[in-house]
Structure 1
């Protein structure tokens, strides 16, 4: 069964020697995030949150992954591991990155080409989750593999790490390939609008400006914190002095997938886990839904 049509989902055949291990790992991953249906929704925001946290606009004044130092980009792999552990609510393994059920699982990531995962000696013959992201295109891939020695290139780097060979990559169980995750918000607007948003003194006004001009654009909690630039950044979203007080009278709803998920799905919106999105109703029925939920006046 193709769980994710048109997303590059490609499990291994049942005859494959790794089928049982990887199908079981897939089932555990889906169970941890609330089922296969929620996997994509959470994946959309997973890479965005990790990258935005490393960019750290609020403290650094930077907006893009390309602004980072080389060492900071290297840290992305660690950030993916940390967030994945939190996402799945699993502990660190004794040897590898995660303990999923009774299995030790390593997490390998790359921002490069198709074979950029570096497999360390301790992960050889072990289960691995492979992550690949392309920030310019805002697409990712997630695969599962048992990193058998036979799947690796013969060469090793100075840390004795090896890459998957071209033949070895045929043994990856792909959950998604070329999957669109939430793009960097700052790449979707021009410098003029960015300056217009950021020139306001108060966080509430900055957020109201953003959401009024960027309808149906998913925005991460990390970005909200960066734009609000205040410890109580969530207060800058709410009513009673927040951005919603500015937007609601204009007929613009400010929705949050953490509390408004079912309404957002009913409206046909695409979003990730714990993301904000502004929306202007397109007809009287949608307006009534939003008004009943207290999102517009």
Structure 2
């Protein structure tokens, strides 16, 4: 007999589900409803449906990753780097919960993480393949966010995480993973795989990275090299702060690099804090709002009407 034949069948709607006991709260057995008959689940899903969710979730995930990397102090820009340990990587999920609440203009409140249209909602985020559901989240409406750091993307589901759809083995905190078949059948998609904002520092080759992050070399010199390596690439302020980690006033050093970049690389360096630069970049199809920078090649500079 194969291992597959030994596995118990996935409980279907109509099955009676009994949550794990939790101190201080009575958990009653209840009938599992199919998602289309679960009014609370459907109401929350409808509230999350508008396209603004994509912007909100993308901003929240990007902020959480950057918070953990702390690039302006550590010089790190890749969550999958060996310089980032597994505990730090896992902490993205915790940071992300608060950022999603903020981006969706919700409130952190009991009995779970927040409420949407009066429905208690548990927020769970993971940088792994599965979510670990705590006892208080069993049989509740859960917003599930998954971050694929290696692929620089994220997605989200909404699911009532019935105990019957969770794995048998729990970790030391009593949390259980979701059975993959239950996720495939009963989770409602909120957001399909969506790219995260690009990190231009990842485009540097190892030799280029050595130059840009060279120790005991001035910030202006290293930023000049950075822009020379990345022509016609929008470089956000956070990337510049990461290159200049631990130093003061990196934006001033970037401004000082303007004439050097022009003389050495033949590029026109534009900064989003200056209206003329912002408008010039936009007219060439580059968005440098939010203090971003771009070093335009002559060909890009001559191009018009692409915004």
Q: TM above 0.5, one fold? A: yes
**1:78 equivalenced with 2:99 (yes/no):** no
**1:282 equivalenced with 2:300 (yes/no):** yes
State the Cα deviation string for residues 140-165 of structure 1 (Å, max 9, x = none). Answer: 22222232334323443332212222
Aligned-residue RMSD, C-alpha: 3.9
Given that 1:47 and 1:80 are in contact with CA atoms closer than 8 Å, whether structure 2 keeps it comes out as yes
Matched residues in 2 for 1:277 and 1:98: separation? 38
Matched residues in 2 for 1:180 and 1:157: separation? 31
Q: Any unmatched runs of 5+ in structure 1?
A: 1-12, 31-35, 291-297
**1:133 equivalenced with 2:147 (yes/no):** yes
**1:210 equivalenced with 2:226 (yes/no):** yes
State the Cα deviation string for residues 223-271 of structure 1 (Å, max 9, x = none). Answer: 332223345444455xxx4555656783343448xx9999877755689
State the Cα deviation string for residues 28-87 of structure 1 (Å, max 9, x = none). Answer: xx5xxxxx2x54455545434322332224433445333222322222211212332333
Three-state SS of the structure 1 residue aligned to 2:142 is strand
Correspondence for 1:174: 189
Match for residue 67 of structure 2 among 44, 49, 53: 53
Matched residues in 1 for 2:232 and 2:55: separation? 15
Match for residue 172 of structure 2 among 152, 158, 165: 158
Range 171-180 or range 210-219, more displaced? 210-219
Q: Any unmatched runs of 5+ in structure 2?
A: 1-33
Correspondence for 1:17: 38
Correspondence for 2:125: 109
Range 193-202 or range 103-112, more displaced? 193-202
Deviation at 1:220, TM superposition (A): 4.5
**1:87 equivalenced with 2:103 (yes/no):** yes
Three-state SS of the structure 2 residue aligned to 1:67 is coil
Range 76-85 or range 92-101, more displaced? 92-101
Three-state SS of the structure 2 residue aligned to 1:253 is strand
Matched residues in 2 for 1:150 and 1:262: separation? 56
Three-state SS of the structure 2 residue aligned to 1:94 is coil
More contact order relative to length (CA 8 Å, sep ≥ 6):
1
Match for residue 144 of structure 1 among 158, 171, 187: 158
**1:251 equivalenced with 2:251 (yes/no):** no
User: Which one has a bigger Cα radius of gyration?
Assistant: 2
